[in-house]
A and B are shown apart, each in its own frame.
Chain A
Amino acid sequence: EAGVAQSPRYKIIEKRQSVAFWCNPISGHATLYWYQQILGQGPKLLIQFQNNGVVDDSQLPKDRFSAERLKGVDSTLKIQPAKLEDSAVYLCASSSRSGLLVGEQYFGPGTRLTVT
């Protein structure tokens, strides 16, 4: 079974530039998550999709971050314009759903963003 794919793996941009990250979840997984992980901290959920609908985006800085999951499969996360404090690893995860529990989350390798 192929895992969660993310690209690019690394990105360096200057502040005020734009950047986009792509995620391809495990086939058949209805739930997709984007996390931000700042160095030395645990991952923080930015947005959660169920199929192509947003379930939770309470932690997403909507003035600069946007995400979409067209057709309920792949997803992109965009930052426009980037700030220095956006330097972090952006992780994508997916899970299936079984009854009252969302199944364990499978994480991709992440995209390391450096904003200079």
Chain B
Amino acid sequence: DAKTTQPTSMDCAEGRAANLPCNHSTISGNEYVYWYRQIHSQGPQYIIHGLKNNETNEMASLIITEDRKSSTLILPHATLRDTAVYYCIVRLPIGSSNTGKLIFGQGTTLQVKP
């Protein structure tokens, strides 16, 4: 699976948009980009995923560059409850030699401040 690079930490003011970058320059054509977050003392929580097109759901938006070498997770109006570690993961679909597993890196610690 492709390796991802994320900043170690970021701050964001409450009510403002949080933009979390992720670099995945070695991503292959059939690998998906997934985002999970982990609030303190809880298990990770799925946020969103995409392949080529930008995606939006009730939690966030995912912007993937045209060359697919990087992406940005956008939390449009960050709240204090969005303080968490955010993981960007690239993942192959299930195949004869792939189980579809997630490989977590260190993630980005997002601190939302009042």
Q: Which residues of A contact B (CB under 8 A)?
A: 4, 33, 41-45, 48, 55-56, 91, 93, 97, 100-102, 104-110
Contacts and interface: CB of A to CB of B under 8 A. Distances in A.
B100 to A, nearest CB: 4
A88 B106 CA distance: 15
Interface residues of B, number: 24
Contact of A42 (B32, B101, B104): B104
A107 B45 contact: yes
Interface string B8-47: 0000000000000000000000001010100001111110
Interface of B: 32, 34, 36, 41-46, 49, 85, 87, 93-95, 99-107
A24 to B, nearest CB: 14
B101 A110 contact: no
Chain A binding surface SS class: strand
15 contacts: A41-B106, A43-B104, A48-B101, A56-B101, A91-B43, A101-B93, A101-B100, A102-B94, A105-B36, A106-B46, A108-B43, A109-B42, A109-B43, A110-B42, A110-B43
A100 B94 contact: yes
Contacts of B87: 42
